[in-house]
Chains A and B, each alone.
Chain A
Amino acid sequence: MKPAPFAYADPTTVEEALDVLTAEGEGAKVLAGGQSLLPLLSMRLAAPTTLVDINRLPGLDRIEAGPNGVRVGALVRHAALLASAEAAAVQPLLGRATANVAHPAIRNRGTTVGSIAHADPSGEMTSVLALTDGSVTVATPGGRSTIGWRDLFVGPLETSVHGPAVVLDAFFPALPARSGTAFAEVARRKGDYAVCGAGVVVTVDDDLRVTAARAAYLSVGLVPEVHDLSGAVAGKPVDSADWAAAGALASGLVDPDGDLHASADYRRLLVATLTERTLADAGAEAVARALEAS
């Protein structure tokens, strides 16, 4: 299990990176944390002709947390995002989801943006980008553009970013007022890719009644999907909301596949269970935040 031959460049500016990607053409691939890419290389399931290592690009290792959201640079490691109190304060889902990414040694090297660019439907951060209605900034020779998550994720391990391009950052909008979040997953072993995972956001009104409940799931579809579950719980006081009904609603909305570790039916069960559990937690948090703000 050794990678097939490839050429390597480690540009120090985005322009340089784009030049190399352009020059090397179709076979060139961007390398950031490498925690998903290197196993594919070693198993010879991927054989790029050139790796363009962006680890030396300056300024991409920053987490910028502002009132509108959190911008995570392409070289921010999972571990750094997990440790960022500023990021957690603006969008608590980031830390909660990142804590579920593999094991510490992987989190020390793997990048949040890289896992989004990898577009693995079982990855935590793809779902979080979707649930928060986030976007990525992409640099191409033609300039920089922002791509919303709906346009980004095209299929399993496939994004709409083609040709010479570097994803520079991901932007996760802030958690709205009077809202709470939760994230949970079921994995066969702790640290494994989730058999099923759920991230949710619940928003309440001033009377602490649910106004919205949305959920995104891991490992249940080909691309991250966000489901609006408000119908099952909207208008109900948080403490008497029928979260189980929302779970049941969710399990009917998803269309998971079966694999070695879980049947489609089992995944549907987990969607229901995890939805119910996370919504209850998120609802409680929404109430707490609403009370705090008032």
Chain B
Amino acid sequence: MTTKLFGEPVRRREDARLITGQGRYLDDIGADAYAAAFVRSPYAHARVVDIDVTGALDVEGLLAIYTYEDLTGPLAEPLPVLIPHPQLTHPRTGYPLAKDVVQHVGEAVVMVVATDRYVAEDAAALIAVSYEELPVVVGVDAARAATHAVHDDVPDNVAARHHQETGDVEPALAASTHTISFTQYVERSASMPMEGKGVHARWDADDQALRVYTSTQASTSVRAAIAAKLQLSLEKVEVIAPDVGGGFGVKIVHPWPEELLVPMAARLLGHEVKWTEDRREHFISSAHERQQRQEITVGYDEDGRITALDVHIWHDNGAYTPYGIIIPIVTATQLVGPYAIPVYRVRVDSVFTNTVIVTPYRGAGRPQGCFAMERTMDRIAQERGLDRAEVRMRNLIQGDQFPYDQHLTFQDGRPVIYDSGDYPGLMAKLKALVDWDSFAERRAEATARGRMLGIGMAMYVEGTGPGPYEGGHVQVLGSGKVLVSTGLTSQGQGHETVFAQLVASELGVPMEDVEVTTGDTRRFGYAVGTFASRAAVMSGNAVALAARGVREKALRIAAEVLEASPEDLEIDEGLVQVKGVPGASIPLRTVAVLSNPLRYAFDEAAKQATQFAGPGDDSKPPVAVGDAPGLEHTDYYSPIRSTFASGAHAAVVEIDPSTWEIDVVQYAVVHDCGNVVNPMIVEGQVHGGVAQGVGGALYERMAYDSDGQLQNASFMDFLMPYASEVPPVVIDHQETASPLNPLGIKGAGEAGVIPGSAAIASAIEDAVGRRIATMPISPTELYDLVRSSADPVTNSQTGAMA
């Protein structure tokens, strides 16, 4: 029997090239390409008065300068609103190059193409753009106050008012024994992959066709966008995502202006053109996420059970809304987490600010929703004098309540119905993992050392694997090689390995024979993209279904040759054989050869399939009606709705009251993403997510001043954690299979980051006894907090209620 591959920590196939410097990332492509650079707005809000390029014209090596005036046809129109929604009443998008007004520092105004990037930057520096400054709106509170408008025709700065409710919240609150209301904030961070964005385009004048490499999470849709904007027929555009140096959401947005402008220039200049985003550009012209103001009112009974929850969120969507209101919807719907909330109302006002656009960053609104719900749980526990774990336990959805309908509509337009889970199980495992009930002893030990120790927890439910669909293609070649392709893209998740594991398992072939291609429109033209923890669920199931199709066909052909019934055959190690009859077998590669009746024998293998190779059945056509030549199959997986993963995290922080430095000394994760294809890769996803969660809680923040200048647009001042800042992580797993898909899997990509801020805020609050209502928090802010009149907070002694 072929080694079982599903569920095994198979080592990654991607690594062989990546550890030897043989990966091919965007900037590794096109050694002879011209280089693009951009003149970007230095102002957060201004009218472009004049662009004077004369100073740049003498730069040796300058090839072209483009401004808005050079854009034609659909390129001169605003960029698309990718995900329209009826509640997005005032969508606004920019132009590939600024038309009249710039809405944030970093918005592209002029594109320069030159022989290399140094020269392009020289020319860009010599282009004089004059601006008339306009009033600037920075931050949700300024947007909400609407003293100034970001877009003239949206005076209240509100792009969308998203609203969902599961019942009549006001009477339910009025009838509640207790209520509390509070306001809290989450600040901006960003995906910040180690590789920035980048685009390379090659125009083939003979074919009148375009090949574009782009560091994207959505190559098929970039292709469609380029075709539409450059007025090319779809088959004249190929888009390929090469090795991508991390995405975390920012590369799902498309088309970025550069994804249109670089191909435009390549076509106009008849030469390869490449743009490699530098770090400063990434800070000021790619996307950020996370800032929200959350106004929460919760009603609960004597026992701390929630009776009603009313949440009003103000969400900073930045200058434009190309990605619609996905983040507001995700926050709104995922906020309720693993809890049964009898009546819930959520309103999210998505507001414009003169800052970089806000689009999904790993978690995509979930960390904020989790922060709202979990901090609410902590407040109820404190008000009722209950253990924080106990309050959560009392509100959890129980095992016999699945499928559990939250009566909300998710980001895919489908109902939020939790497919499966075991939330009390998560809590039990988490408490054991961090020894929650005996924390008092640890605290006492730390107190004796002059340190403040605190513990916090947070739970989440994450809708993963949303549709509409992904597809997979599996083809067995006459050489025995198995080609697998799927349209979605990879940014380090190990898809080449995981999909090969799945296909090898389904097909009964050695994994070494399987070759996986992702994100290449030449190989697979239909896809949605890699986001929302969906790749394993969507393409995993799609390639598995495609492999099953190939298997079925292979058995049918082999059955004829072996004169057996398909049901009596099995495939193992690439050999189709009659079960229990040694020797009665045919290699799968031979089946592949036979599947394609040939006239011409171009090689030895092909000879077996030619028309005089053996006796044929003259009564049938060589290719049966309804059949097709070749041992290949394409299939699609389209889920009825998302599948819901879940988890629980706990953090222990130690604080030095003489410096207020915050050290996360322990971080515990219990994680349930259904059936696990490759536990090594899933753990890696959790580790990485936790590091981003810790970063978002304690280090990372986009610091805009009131003029809309990003003050920390470098790795020196935007503090992504080094190894020294990431705590040790202990992980326990729970596997509750999803009933929704053939493989029973749920997504795992984003989970690690979701509860970070909530759990760490809870732990710090527990340590210092002051209310934490804004995250992230730094030592200097903690010092301010403990000296302020902020609410003193006392958590009930952990374990006291056990």
Check if A189 sits within 8 Å of B118, measured CB to CB.
Answer: no
When distances are taken between beta carbons in the complex, the residues of chain B under 8 Å from A266 are 660, 779-780, 783-784
Check if B280 sits within 8 Å of A1, measured CB to CB.
Answer: yes
When distances are taken between beta carbons in the complex, the residues of chain B under 8 Å from A5 are 118, 122
When distances are taken between beta carbons in the complex, the residues of chain A under 8 Å from B798 are none
- Quick check: is A88 within 8 A (CB to CB) of the other chain? no
When distances are taken between beta carbons in the complex, the residues of chain A under 8 Å from B659 are 186, 269-270, 273
Given contacts A188-B719, A189-B725, A191-B724, contact A269 B783 (CB under 8 A): yes
- Encoded as 1 (CB less than 8 Å from any A CB) or 0, chain B from 560 to 588 comes to 00000000000000000000000000000
Check if B784 sits within 8 Å of A2, measured CB to CB.
Answer: no
Check if B122 sits within 8 Å of A273, measured CB to CB.
Answer: no
In the complex, which residues 1-52 of chain A have their Cβ closer than 8 Å to any Cβ of chain B? 1-5, 43-44
- Quick check: is B703 within 8 A (CB to CB) of the other chain? yes
- Quick check: is B624 within 8 A (CB to CB) of the other chain? no
A-B contact pairs, 5 of them (CB 8 A): A189-B719, A190-B722, A262-B780, A266-B660, A273-B659
When distances are taken between beta carbons in the complex, the residues of chain B under 8 Å from A276 are 658
When distances are taken between beta carbons in the complex, the residues of chain A under 8 Å from B117 are 2
- Encoded as 1 (CB less than 8 Å from any B CB) or 0, chain A from 253 to 294 comes to 000000011110110011001001000000000000000000
- Quick check: is B778 within 8 A (CB to CB) of the other chain? yes
Check if B280 sits within 8 Å of A43, measured CB to CB.
Answer: yes
**Binding-face segment, B144-152, B289-297, B709-717:** B709-717
- Not counting A263-B784, A266-B784, A273-B659, a sample of 17 additional A-B residue pairs whose C-beta atoms are within 8 angstroms of each other reads A1-B121, A2-B121, A4-B121, A4-B125, A5-B122, A44-B121, A188-B699, A188-B778, A189-B719, A190-B724, A190-B725, A191-B722, A191-B724, A195-B779, A261-B778, A262-B780, A269-B658
When distances are taken between beta carbons in the complex, the residues of chain B under 8 Å from A263 are 780, 783-784
Given contacts A188-B699, A189-B699, A269-B783, contact A4 B724 (CB under 8 A): no
Rounded to whole angstroms, the CA-CA distance of A265 and B787 in the bound complex is 11
For residue A273, which residue of chain B has the nearest CB? B658
- Quick check: is A192 within 8 A (CB to CB) of the other chain? yes
When distances are taken between beta carbons in the complex, the residues of chain B under 8 Å from A189 are 699, 719, 721-722, 724-725
- Encoded as 1 (CB less than 8 Å from any A CB) or 0, chain B from 691 to 727 comes to 0000000010001000000011010110101101100
CB of A244, distance to nearest CB on chain B (Å)? 10
From A3, A43, A260, contact of B712 by CB (8 A): A260
When distances are taken between beta carbons in the complex, the residues of chain A under 8 Å from B724 are 189-191
Rounded to whole angstroms, the CA-CA distance of A247 and B95 in the bound complex is 57
When distances are taken between beta carbons in the complex, the residues of chain A under 8 Å from B714 are 43
Given contacts A189-B722, A273-B658, contact A260 B711 (CB under 8 A): yes
When distances are taken between beta carbons in the complex, the residues of chain B under 8 Å from A192 are 716, 719
> Can you list the 5 inter-chain pairs with the closest CB atoms, starting with the nearest?
A190-B724, A266-B780, A1-B278, A273-B658, A2-B118
When distances are taken between beta carbons in the complex, the residues of chain B under 8 Å from A186 are 659, 661, 779
Given contacts A186-B661, A263-B780, contact A3 B711 (CB under 8 A): no
When distances are taken between beta carbons in the complex, the residues of chain B under 8 Å from A217 are none
Given contacts A1-B278, A2-B117, contact A260 B725 (CB under 8 A): no
Rounded to whole angstroms, the CA-CA distance of A260 and B122 in the bound complex is 31
- Encoded as 1 (CB less than 8 Å from any A CB) or 0, chain B from 95 to 122 comes to 0000000000000000000000110011
CB of A246, distance to nearest CB on chain B (Å)? 14
Rounded to whole angstroms, the CA-CA distance of A276 and B779 in the bound complex is 19
- Quick check: is A193 within 8 A (CB to CB) of the other chain? yes
Rounded to whole angstroms, the CA-CA distance of A262 and B118 in the bound complex is 36
CB of B450, distance to nearest CB on chain A (Å)? 12
Check if A193 sits within 8 Å of B121, measured CB to CB.
Answer: no
When distances are taken between beta carbons in the complex, the residues of chain B under 8 Å from A193 are 716
CB of A262, distance to nearest CB on chain B (Å)? 5
For residue B117, which residue of chain A has the nearest CB? A2
When distances are taken between beta carbons in the complex, the residues of chain A under 8 Å from B279 are 1
When distances are taken between beta carbons in the complex, the residues of chain A under 8 Å from B779 are 186, 188, 195, 262, 266
A interface, over-half SS: loop
Check if B780 sits within 8 Å of A261, measured CB to CB.
Answer: yes
For residue B59, which residue of chain A has the nearest CB? A5
CB of A285, distance to nearest CB on chain B (Å)? 21
Which residue, A188, A262, A263, A273, has most C-beta atoms of chain B within 10 A? A188
Rounded to whole angstroms, the CA-CA distance of A24 and B174 in the bound complex is 79
- Encoded as 1 (CB less than 8 Å from any B CB) or 0, chain A from 173 to 211 comes to 000000000000010111111010000000000000000
Rounded to whole angstroms, the CA-CA distance of A195 and B782 in the bound complex is 15
For residue B783, which residue of chain A has the nearest CB? A266
Rounded to whole angstroms, the CA-CA distance of A2 and B717 in the bound complex is 20
Rounded to whole angstroms, the CA-CA distance of A4 and B699 in the bound complex is 32
In the complex, which residues 752-802 of chain B have their Cβ closer than 8 Å to any Cβ of chain A? 778-780, 783-784
Rounded to whole angstroms, the CA-CA distance of A192 and B699 in the bound complex is 12
Rounded to whole angstroms, the CA-CA distance of A261 and B719 in the bound complex is 10
Rounded to whole angstroms, the CA-CA distance of A3 and B780 in the bound complex is 35
Rounded to whole angstroms, the CA-CA distance of A5 and B121 in the bound complex is 10
When distances are taken between beta carbons in the complex, the residues of chain A under 8 Å from B719 are 188-189, 192
When distances are taken between beta carbons in the complex, the residues of chain B under 8 Å from A195 are 779-780
When distances are taken between beta carbons in the complex, the residues of chain A under 8 Å from B699 are 188-189
CB of B198, distance to nearest CB on chain A (Å)? 14
When distances are taken between beta carbons in the complex, the residues of chain A under 8 Å from B721 are 189
When distances are taken between beta carbons in the complex, the residues of chain A under 8 Å from B280 are 1, 43
When distances are taken between beta carbons in the complex, the residues of chain B under 8 Å from A262 are 779-780
For residue A269, which residue of chain B has the nearest CB? B783
Rounded to whole angstroms, the CA-CA distance of A189 and B784 in the bound complex is 20
- Encoded as 1 (CB less than 8 Å from any A CB) or 0, chain B from 266 to 301 comes to 000000000000111000000000000000000000
For residue A258, which residue of chain B has the nearest CB? B780
For residue B717, which residue of chain A has the nearest CB? A260
When distances are taken between beta carbons in the complex, the residues of chain A under 8 Å from B125 are 4, 44
For residue A191, which residue of chain B has the nearest CB? B722
CB of B787, distance to nearest CB on chain A (Å)? 8
Check if B778 sits within 8 Å of A3, measured CB to CB.
Answer: no
Rounded to whole angstroms, the CA-CA distance of A266 and B121 in the bound complex is 40
For residue A47, which residue of chain B has the nearest CB? B125
When distances are taken between beta carbons in the complex, the residues of chain B under 8 Å from A261 are 717, 778, 780
CB of B592, distance to nearest CB on chain A (Å)? 51
Rounded to whole angstroms, the CA-CA distance of A267 and B689 in the bound complex is 32
Rounded to whole angstroms, the CA-CA distance of A143 and B122 in the bound complex is 38
For residue A1, which residue of chain B has the nearest CB? B278
Which residue, B716, B721, B724, has most C-beta atoms of chain A within 10 A? B724
Given contacts A189-B721, A190-B724, A191-B722, contact A3 B783 (CB under 8 A): no
Rounded to whole angstroms, the CA-CA distance of A1 and B724 in the bound complex is 28
In the complex, which residues 218-266 of chain A have their Cβ closer than 8 Å to any Cβ of chain B? 260-263, 265-266
Rounded to whole angstroms, the CA-CA distance of A195 and B278 in the bound complex is 27
When distances are taken between beta carbons in the complex, the residues of chain B under 8 Å from A273 are 658-659
- Encoded as 1 (CB less than 8 Å from any A CB) or 0, chain B from 372 to 399 comes to 0000000000000000000000000000
Rounded to whole angstroms, the CA-CA distance of A44 and B722 in the bound complex is 26
When distances are taken between beta carbons in the complex, the residues of chain A under 8 Å from B711 are 260
When distances are taken between beta carbons in the complex, the residues of chain A under 8 Å from B703 are 260
Rounded to whole angstroms, the CA-CA distance of A109 and B661 in the bound complex is 30
CB of B356, distance to nearest CB on chain A (Å)? 17
For residue B784, which residue of chain A has the nearest CB? A263
CB of A268, distance to nearest CB on chain B (Å)? 10
Rounded to whole angstroms, the CA-CA distance of A276 and B450 in the bound complex is 15
For residue A186, which residue of chain B has the nearest CB? B659
When distances are taken between beta carbons in the complex, the residues of chain A under 8 Å from B784 are 263, 265-266
For residue B725, which residue of chain A has the nearest CB? A189
Rounded to whole angstroms, the CA-CA distance of A291 and B544 in the bound complex is 76
For residue B656, which residue of chain A has the nearest CB? A273
For residue A276, which residue of chain B has the nearest CB? B658
When distances are taken between beta carbons in the complex, the residues of chain A under 8 Å from B783 are 263, 265-266, 269
When distances are taken between beta carbons in the complex, the residues of chain A under 8 Å from B778 are 188, 261
Rounded to whole angstroms, the CA-CA distance of A273 and B450 in the bound complex is 14
CB of A37, distance to nearest CB on chain B (Å)? 15
- Encoded as 1 (CB less than 8 Å from any A CB) or 0, chain B from 187 to 230 comes to 00000000000000000000000000000000000000000000
- Encoded as 1 (CB less than 8 Å from any A CB) or 0, chain B from 718 to 757 comes to 0101101100000000000000000000000000000000
Given contacts A263-B780, A263-B784, contact A4 B122 (CB under 8 A): yes
